[in-house]
A and B are shown apart, each in its own frame.
Chain A
């Protein structure tokens, strides 16, 4: 049973370009969470999705950021017109249940570098 898969592992973009980060949850998990981490800091919650629905996007910046989790395929975190401040590690996690999470399974993350 493969774990949470994120790709790419490293992504380099120039300012103004678009970044697309992909996450495939563990088999059987329909709940996906995206987090952002700056160096030497903790994880900041961004968005929580279930299949085809955004449940909580309270941690998402209002502009340039969007997320989706289609019926088929991986969850996508999309950052338009990237700026240097978007450089960070982006982690995806999945869970088999919604209420009363007892364990989150994390991917290895995507390190985004904006030049």
Chain B
């Protein structure tokens, strides 16, 4: 397994705007996962994208993966105050554990 590094560390937007978070990783992966953490709670799995996929959608979430650049992005469209949380990415190369980075702290202002 390997750690993902999120960018930016913090992001503040107005409700209704789109939020884009980026992730970079260092070595080859089988899949890349995004998780969300609300303050004081455990992480919740949002979406998984496999190494042979370039884009994936789930509701208001859109994830892209560029294996040549070893990067991924998470787009949240039409953001809501309830989207305020920390977002983490993690790449998995068929290892038996996941190591998380520092995350992006998203603040959506009503």
Contacts and interface: CB of A to CB of B under 8 A. Distances in A.
Nearest to A50: B96
Given A41-B102, A42-B101, A105 B45 contact: yes
Contact of B100 (A42, A89, A111): A42
Interface string A73-115: 0000000000000000101010000111111111111010000
Contacts, number: 66
Contacts of B97: 33, 45, 48, 56, 101
Which label, helix, strand, loop or mixed, suits the secondary structure of the B interface?
Answer: loop
Contact of B33 (A31, A56, A103, A111): A103
A55 interface: yes
Interface residues of A, number: 28
Interface in A28-73: 31, 33, 35, 40-43, 45, 48, 55-56
A12 B105 CA distance: 27
Contacts of A4: 42
B96 A104 contact: no
A56 B40 CA distance: 26
Contacts of A107: 42
B81 interface: no
Interface of A: 4, 31, 33, 35, 40-43, 45, 48, 55-56, 89, 91, 93, 98-109, 111
